Structure 1
């Protein structure tokens, strides 16, 4: 499977031809994920793969928390075994996305403003 860097992922997302999949537990996905991503929280079955990435001919990009996380690589290998034609791994994952200052979707509350919550 091929790797993809952030800049290429952004360009690919703009074409609308990518199926973006986060390979982290459901709680981590709910807290924050790259906009438009779907979630595969564990083992990838044929049924789950078809739900999150129905087009086997489209590019499927998997990511997880960062370069030291292997969940995206394991999930990508499962997608490839299931016959997906173009499977890539965004190894930088959430860490790289955040370091670039890019937005996430999810239910994580924003951090309080500097000085907020301190008694006067």
Structure 2
């Protein structure tokens, strides 16, 4: 996640303290697999995000779409940005990881994209 944020031009220190950066990097090494994308093979999927991602979504809102797109590895619907902004505005607990349910939908151009439908805490 940190690499993707920096690639997008964000300064990690604008979002995290030095202590948080060290903590989240250490947690990522301990909890491999906590941030993962699960394809349910029925047109739906679930994206599980660690608390580091949750804090990033709160800090960036719709700006986190490119980071989420990088994790999913496919096309993300425009509504995901609004969805992430709504999560950010929900005054959520940044110390917890979240999940986002997604479904495959056809956009106006006839391409299949992932659209967020629901979220909750892990």
TM range (shorter): under 0.3
- Structure with greater helix share of residues: 2
TM-score (norm 1): 0.25
Q: Could you state the TM-score of these two structures normalised by the residue count of structure 2?
A: 0.25
Higher-RCO chain (CA-CA 8 Å, sequence separation at least 6): 1
Rg larger in structure: 1
